[in-house]
Structure 1
């Protein structure tokens, strides 16, 4: 029986699970553009998006909407235009990078970060937005107006409060079990706060989709630079999609075994096999519009515990 090639795998992936253009632009900005200074000329971006079947019109609509949503900013230079990561959006990109590329090593100190929104302190739109963003950061709604997470840092909450003009309007504190009181263990909040079955299914689906690809890459002699870029981008796009639902709990509060560990190892193996050739394709596209386009920064080579 003839084995599938990586080219055929790409074609099948794009035919059966095509990424939405706006979401894919976000993936490529985070994975490929951010390490190269965070700015890309539209012509280069069109070239990078073409292998995914995203045409000029779809791309222009996508970047326009991302600019409206506060992720990108457009710059004009005569008849040419470029797009950059909005400075205010950089903290969110950096947190997303930590979720995707950093090893799963968060440990629990026994306490929780609690966010309390008293009735009447926020208007309805701000309350709804903060609830959505807290959920994205992995917070669970413990009770009406009360959100908690066992491993969240102060920087995340402060950035959210500043961005939504909510400083001084929420109560944020650390909670720990009170010694000498017959109380339920705080670790039980994890089981009640999150339904991890969706995350578990997502990781298993990701691995079922990409394990055959790793086997192909181990057998094939060499990918083209464009194929490596497409595979790396689809890998991060699919992995990021699962991680959006992962609350990133400390390892002590996760089921054992946790499929996120194997999914991370799989993503790391494929990324390491494709990153060098993918960088060649990215640099070729960037330098066609800007001869001085920067190479990937040092932080890029720390992804997934270090790239060869």
Structure 2
């Protein structure tokens, strides 16, 4: 029996934006097809996610305007591929998304210090945006902090922003003599842990039922592969932002019952269970669309 047939009706929830789902598809399957996916295949796969062809066209159009996608022809058929340089960024993101690291107490911190002339305020914004996307916390407007294992990634992102000459990186430890705030208190002031926790809670609430449903079912039939595909792509689309917003802070510095740990365990379980069947469905749909 299809897993879909066993689902209980539930109230509609806000779905990830069509553009985000489209980017997820390219991240998962585009690179194994020379970076390009046929238009017919994209329409078919996004249709399996409940998006009509008009929604697909709208999402593609917006991503083309942003330079994320570009039109190509593959075997005479219309297709889209990732924009120039984006495959490298996707590869860099794989480890962050699928194997996020977490620092331990005693590990060094990475400080990013920068001062930008007022005449280049736009560059200042780019630096802050790059550090925010990596999960850095703000100590002061010109001093940001994160676990030290993010150094290579931070240097790469700052370099892409054209700001390498304005940012200095330092490795540091907290010299705590017992008279000042604790590291846990400082972490809570540098990061918006409440907002991050709420996103983790939302992820767990949205996908706990999916985890329970697949815990006792092994996707076997083509329809079950399609069900696995829909669950997996939706789950990954919501998840892939979280490892960037959470830089991997030591759990000892986080609030009690931190949902980030629960969410990571849930993601890992669903990834291990659904990634394979989802890929089988995607490859079958792409083959049908290309006439193979």
Shorter-chain TM-score bucket reads: 0.7 to 0.9
Specify the alignment match of 1:295 in structure 2. Answer: none
Contact 2:229-2:282 at 8 Å conserved across structures: yes
**Cα offset for 1:230?**
0.5
Cα displacement (A) at 1:284: 1.1
2:143 to 141, 146, 149: 146
Deviation at 1:184, TM superposition (A): 5.5
Aligned partners of 2:114 and 2:143 also within 8 Å:
yes
Structure 1, unmatched stretches of 5+, are 293-308
Query: Residues 52 and 230 of structure 1 are in contact (CA less than 8 Å); yes or no, is this contact kept in structure 2?
Result: yes
Runs of 4 or more consecutive aligned structure 1 residues displaced over 6 Å after TM superposition: 179-183
- Give the match for residue 213 of structure 2: 216
Structure 1 residue matching 2:240: 3-state secondary structure: helix
TM-score w.r.t. length of structure 1: 0.78
Q: Secondary structure at the match of 1:224?
A: helix
In structure 2, list runs of 5 or more residues that go unmatched.
Answer: none
Q: Is the 8 A contact 2:112 2:168 kept in 1?
A: yes
CA contact (8 A) 1:63 1:72 kept: yes
CA distance 1:18–1:178, change in 2 (3 Å):
closer
How many Å separate the matches in 1 of 2:8 and 2:77? Answer: 32
2:194 aligned residue (197, 200, 204): 197
1:153-172 matched pairs, under 5 angstroms: 153-172=150-169
Contact kept, 8 Å, 1:113 with 1:172, in 2: the verdict is yes
Residue in 1 that maps onto 2:240 = 240
State whether structure 2 residue 268 is matched by structure 1 residue 271.
no
Displacement of 1:8 after TM fit? 6.5
Report the CA distance between 1:105 and its aligned residue.
Answer: 4.1
- CA deviations 1:255-289 (Å, max 9, x no partner) are 34432222122222223222232122111122235
Equivalent pair of 2:96/2:244 in contact (CA under 8 Å): no
Which residue of structure 2 aligns with residue 25 of structure 1?
22
Cα deviation, residue 198, structure 1: 1.9
Deviations 1:14-47 (A, max 9, x none): x322221111112222233345543212211111
Equivalent pair of 1:6/1:217 in contact (CA under 8 Å): no
Measure, in 2, the Cα distance between the counterparts of 1:34 and 1:90. Answer: 7
Whether contact under 8 Å (2:102, 2:248) holds in the other structure is no
Q: Considering only aligned residues, what root-mean-square deviation do their CA atoms show, in Å? A: 3.2
Q: CA deviation at 1:233?
A: 0.7
From 49, 53, 64, the equivalent of 1:52 is 49
How has the CA–CA distance of structure 1 residues 60 and 140 changed in structure 2, closer, same or farther, with 3 Å as cutoff?
A: same
